[in-house]
Structure 1
Amino acid sequence: MLRVSKALRMAENAAKRIKMSSPVTIGTHNGHFHADEALAVHMLRQLPTYQGAKLVRTRDPAVLATCHTVVDVGGEYDPARNRFDHHQRGFATTFPGRPTKLSSAGLVFLHFGRALIAQKTGASPEAAETDPDVALLHHKLYESFVEAMDAHDNGISAYDAAALAAAGIEKRFANGGFSLASVVARLNPNWNDPVPSDPDEAQRAEDARFELASARIGEEFDRDLDYYVRAWLPARAVVKAAFDKRAEHDPEGRVLVFEGTSAPWKDHLYSLEEGKPGVLYVLYPENPGPGAKWRVQCVPVSKDSFESRKPLPEAWRGFRDQELDGITGISGCVFVHAAGFIGGNATFEGAKAMALKALES
């Protein structure tokens, strides 16, 4: 409790400093806060226009009218006037190519996401709308991070509830506490927490909690943005180079080989295949050092699936070392997982031989 109280005081003091120093004001609603406006406010504050922006949390239309930008309240979606609400009747805006109705987070990311990404990649503000890497990252970050916020805030389930019920599928355990929306929700006051009698003091305490929530979800967003810019995007070049050379290892292009270094490959492989699945096995060294062992990994039918397009032969599964050598007829075998989705060999030549033999099975 002491640590929470201290954090709240620190956030409150930070909010006070912001309110005293910045001419730009972001408005959002007061009361119970949610992940979407917490993220929307964080994203805006990363941009030069909103550096140190002060925050006003109110539902008073007269006060909101004085704000430079308003998110998640006000009943207006008008980007020309920096109004980004999604609660009004008839609102149905979605991110290009995606079906989910936007929340305030999605609206802010739709209009400001490219600028955020360009700022991170070092692209010029002028190039933000035309740079292909910025466009690729804009779509990827929306699908991987922001869309879930939009769906949650708009009451859209990840799966069709009727279809699940018809199929007799039930959840095996509760997982609601693991979402970012739940992380933000837990920072709201409890229903029975004491409330200061002074309305201004009560609002300051509530605002301080919101500042914590915005920083918390913002930290996760920033980590995702950093990963996709610094690791995911550079991996695309590595995967494309291997994809372009796949016929060197198998005339039908069913074996992908990373020479010297591996990289996150699933997203990029599925994209490069353009809806025409062909690669069945991916070969890569366990580490970039000399003498590294090699892995043979089966390509899943989809990114999040445990089902392989073509598992390693059943007769190999669960065996190791010399016993596996004898079964496969290939020397240097290390293992094949009991589920058949991955195996290993001491050398590249051995790993390639395992993949080619598996293709024949």
Structure 2
Amino acid sequence: MNDTNEKNLKIITHSGNFHTDEVFACAVLSLLNDGNIEVIRSREPDIWATGDYVVDVGGEYDHARGRFDHHQEGGSGVRPNGIPYSSFGLVWKEFGEKISGSAYVARVIDERVAQPVDAGDNGFETFGVRGEVAPYILQDVISAFRPGWNEARTEDEGFSEAVPFAVKILEREIVRARTEEEGKRYAEEAYEKADDKRIIILEDHYPWYEALGTKSEPLFVVKPDRGNMGKWKIEAVRSDVHSFKNRKNLPSAWAGKTGDELAEISGVPDALFCHNKLFIAVAGSKDGALALAKLAVDA
């Protein structure tokens, strides 16, 4: 298939209501070809035959021929964790590493962005709800681009706005994953250098959970407070990335305290703030944050 930017790629997807998976499948192909794409939305087989790529329609999955549907009998494959592929995941599996330049980044984007979309499109539940409150997820965001029943705008107009939006999300998620890949190395180095591996000191705002969350010892991370010039903060290591449960809370007496009150209770002169949920505290200096961390470890 033509996957260069020498000409516009012709992408065919289905007409009618659009969904998150084909919006993002088209966004991936846009990134593949530097934005040079023509998208035709049709349910006519004669039209499908003219496409360089056909996504989420056509009843076949053949990556060599640029056919990426998952609605056919038997689907188009299932990941080891049980989440079936939709058109987004199929296209990302084929081109993600080429677009991002990294197997690590391609994996992260699949886990973070593609798998939740694929799960939702295939009716595969990945989370529960609390009472009447459900997460506002990517499918909700893309659905907001659809026309309301009493609007004059068309599905095609909504789709044409949704795809560039999805491109921006993918571009930023790729950047985010690349910085995480680099930051992970610095966090691992900090762990190896730490004398007390319960407290890990980072010299910059490195993403750290993937590197440290798999280690059993770390309880707190001390690092610069980005956006709060000169200040340092202590963060509790969570039990897992999807949980708000800390391995160890900051001392309960610090909860919600600020300024002089926190300084007096903690004995750290430049202590500034402790979150009411006991997972973040801020001090005016690196030494102050480290002092808070040492107190928290022994509390």
The whole-number CA distance in structure 1 between the counterparts of 2:47 and 2:151 is 28
* Residue equivalent to 2:161: 212
1:116-265 aligned within 5 A: 116-118=99-101, 134-159=102-127, 170-173=130-133, 175=135, 178-191=136-149, 206-229=155-178, 231-247=179-195, 250=196, 253-259=197-203, 261-265=204-208
Counterpart pick for 1:80 among 64, 75, 99? 64
Q: 1:101 to 1:312 in 2, by over 3 A?
A: same
Shift of residue 331, structure 1, vs aligned partner? 4.0
Cα deviation for residue 137 of structure 1 reads 0.7
Equivalent residue, structure 2, for 1:306: 244
Q: List per-residue Cα deviations over 1:57-96 (Å, max 9, x = no partner).
A: 222223212322211011101112111100111125134x
Inter-partner Cα distance in structure 1 for 2:261 and 2:228: 27
Q: Does 1:111 align with 2:102?
A: no
Cα distance in 2, alignment partners of residues 184 and 315 from structure 1? 44
How far off its partner does 1:44 sit? Answer: 0.7
Cα shift at 1:51: 5.3
Distance 1:338 1:66, change over 3 A: closer
Matched, 1:357 2:292: no
Q: Are 2:276 and 1:338 equivalent residues in the alignment?
A: yes
Deviation at 1:300, TM superposition (A): 1.4
> Partner letter of residue 355 of structure 1?
A
- CA positional deviation for 1:242: 1.4
The answer to whether the 8 Å contact 2:187/2:211 transfers is yes
Change (3 A) 1:55 1:334: closer
How many angstroms apart in 1 are the aligned matches of 2:205 and 2:30? 36
Give CA deviations for 1:164-218 in whole Å, capped at 9, x if unaligned.
xxxxx7434355xx433233323334445569xxxxxxxxx64343222212222
- State the Cα RMSD in Å: 2.8
* Aligned residue number for residue 46 of structure 1: 31
Contact 2:61 2:76 in 1 (8 A): no
The correspondence for 1:93, drawn from 77, 80, 87, is 77
SS in 1 for 2:182: helix
- Higher-Rg member (1/2): 1
Instruction: Give the Cα separation in 1 of the matches to 2:43 and 2:260.
Output: 72
Segments of 5+ residues of structure 2 without an aligned counterpart are 1-5
Give the share of equivalent positions with the same residue, in percent. 33
Higher helix content, 1 or 2: 1
Secondary structure of 2:39's counterpart equals strand
SS in structure 1 at match of 2:105 = helix
Structure 1 residues 104 and 336: alpha-carbon distance in aligned structure 2, compared to 1, 3 A threshold: same
TM-score (norm 1): 0.72
**TM-score, length-scaled by structure 2:** 0.86
Q: Is the 8 A contact 1:180 1:217 kept in 2?
A: no
Distance in 2, matches of 1:308 and 1:344, equals: 17
Q: Contact 2:219–2:248 at 8 Å: present in 1 too?
A: yes
Name the residue aligned to 1:12. none
Residue 353 (structure 1) shift: 2.8
Unaligned 5+ segments in structure 1 are 1-20, 119-133, 161-168, 196-204
- The CA distance in 2 between the partners of 1:236 and 1:117, in whole Å, is 17
The change in CA–CA distance for 1:348 and 1:85 in structure 2 (over 3 A counts) is same
1:270-349 correspondence to structure 2 within 5 Å: 270=213, 273=214, 276-286=215-225, 292-349=230-287
Matches of 2:107 and 2:165 in 1, distance apart? 23
State whether residues 56 and 68 of structure 2, in contact with CA within 8 Å, keep that contact through their aligned partners in structure 1. yes
Contact map agreement 2:27 2:163 (CA 8 A) in 1:
yes
CA contact (8 A) 1:27 1:71 kept: yes
Going from structure 1 to structure 2, the CA distance change for 1:360 and 1:26 (only over 3 Å counts) comes to same
Measured in 1, the distance between the counterparts of 2:181 and 2:241 equals: 17
1:72-127 per-residue CA deviation (whole Å, 9 max, x = no partner) reads 011101112111100111125134x5431111001000101111102xxxxxxxxx
State how far apart, in whole Å, the 2-side matches of 1:214 and 1:27 are: 13
Which residue matches 2:13?
28
- Note the alpha carbon deviations across 1:22-80, whole angstroms, 9 max, x for none: 564221111111111111112112224x8523222222223212322211011101112
